[in-house]
Amino acid sequence: MATRELIEETYRDWIAALNSQNDEAISAAIAEKIMHDGLESGKHQYTQQVIKVLDELSVTKVDLDMFTIDTAAQAISARLLYRGKSQINDGGIPTNDTFIEWSAITFTWFDADLKMIRASSLVDMDAIRAGNNKAAPTPTLHYEPAPPGFGIQALYHGYLDCINTDRDKDRLARHVHSVITHNEHMSDLDEFLSFLNHNSRQIEGNKLTIKDLITDDVSQQIAARLELSGTPVGEVFGSAPTGRAVRFPEHAMYKLHGGKIAFVWAVRDFDTFRKRLEGRE
């Protein structure tokens, strides 16, 4: 099993390969077969797919902003910050000469030789469409360590169960810090609970299901691939209900403060949400 340091070094080499946009450097990081978001590709095919995306978005720089490593799974989740120019018109993405920045949350798994064998990524497409000139980096945070006997996976499963069931404040307080920052928005527990309850009211049968979970006892961080499901009955995420049920992905990364969730980055696949809401997928 690879060490935490070796997994980090391997992933930093991958980011360097992306920044070089060199076919050989990118290909060298990939196993002969790789699964990306459920689709299998060969090394050469996947390399060309990566180069194509970098070229379409005129990416000039990729920064590793935050990462969570799970040595047992030989996996890493990372928040990446991209800088580039969009060259795509499909879906209302503007084409212009203005440099923009956007984020993505990725998950990567390695084989015994530390070659990439599986990956999943969610890009903040709405940020690209908005033409944001700056993607916020993760701030420097000074959080307390977890208490003795703390179980990081048990905390997250308890947190998700609370969200999916009663959303009781006292129960939520056992999993979430009294002050929580979610995508740059800082709130107290009451405001955060109000946010959760609003989503539950607007989406009948609102449920979050874990697809993959990466936990890092060293950094006290969690990363999760989630699926959101339910039937919107009120306006949600800027869209009116149509009576159709939806399922769509979310990638989220969490930092803990004293054994409780205190900081969250999340990217939701709103393109899939809108397509399924409109019956286009």
Residue carrying structure tokens 């990462």: 67
Cβ atoms 235, 202 nearer than 8 A: yes
Would you state the pLDDT for residue 59? 95
DSSP SS3 for 150: coil
Cβ atoms 4, 71 nearer than 8 A: yes
Token representation of residue 13: 């080499």
Residue 110 has pLDDT above 70, yes or no: yes
pLDDT in tens, 191-230: 999 999 998 999 999 999 999 999 999 999 999 999 999 9
Residue 4 has pLDDT above 90, yes or no: yes
CA 188 to chain centre: 23
Would you state the pLDDT for residue 46? 98
Give pTM, 2 decimals.
Answer: 0.95
Report CA torsion sign: 54, 58, 63, 64: negative
Query: Which residues in the chain belong to E strands, given as ranges?
Result: 30-36, 39-42, 61-70, 75-84, 100-110, 116-123, 176-182, 185-188, 203-216, 221-232, 246-257, 260-268
Backbone angles phi, psi at 263, to 5 degrees: -145, 135
Would you state the pLDDT for residue 56? 86
Would you state the pLDDT for residue 131? 87
The reply to whether domains 4-130 and 152-278 share a CATH topology is: yes
pLDDT in tens, 10-69: 999 999 999 999 999 999 999 999 999 999 999 999 999 999 999 988 899 999 999 999
Right CATH for 4-130 from 3.90.1150.10, 3.10.450.50, 3.40.50.720, 1.10.10.10 = 3.10.450.50
User: Quick one: average pLDDT of 137-144?
Assistant: 94
Would you state the pLDDT for residue 89? 55
pLDDT in tens, 146-174: 999 999 999 999 999 999 999 999 999 99
Q: How far apart are CA 224 and CA 73, in angstroms?
A: 13
Structure letter (DSSP) for residue 63 = E
Question: 273 or 87, which is more confident?
Answer: 273
Burial class (CB within 10 angstroms; exposed 0-12, middle 13-18, buried 19+) of 153:
exposed
Residue 266 has pLDDT above 90, yes or no: yes
- What is the H or E stretch that residue 201 is in? helix 189-202
Cβ atoms 147, 258 nearer than 8 A: yes
pLDDT in tens, 70-105: 999 999 999 999 999 865 555 555 556 688 999 999
- State whether CATH 3.10.450.50 applies to domain 152-278: yes
* Cβ neighbours, 10 Å, residue 224: 24
User: Quick one: average pLDDT of 115-139?
Assistant: 95
Domain spans in the chain, listed from the N-terminal domain onward: 4-130, 152-278
**Which of 65-79 are b and which e, b meaning 16 or more Cβ less than 10 Å from the residue's Cβ?**
bbbbbbbebbbbbbb
Would you state the pLDDT for residue 109? 99
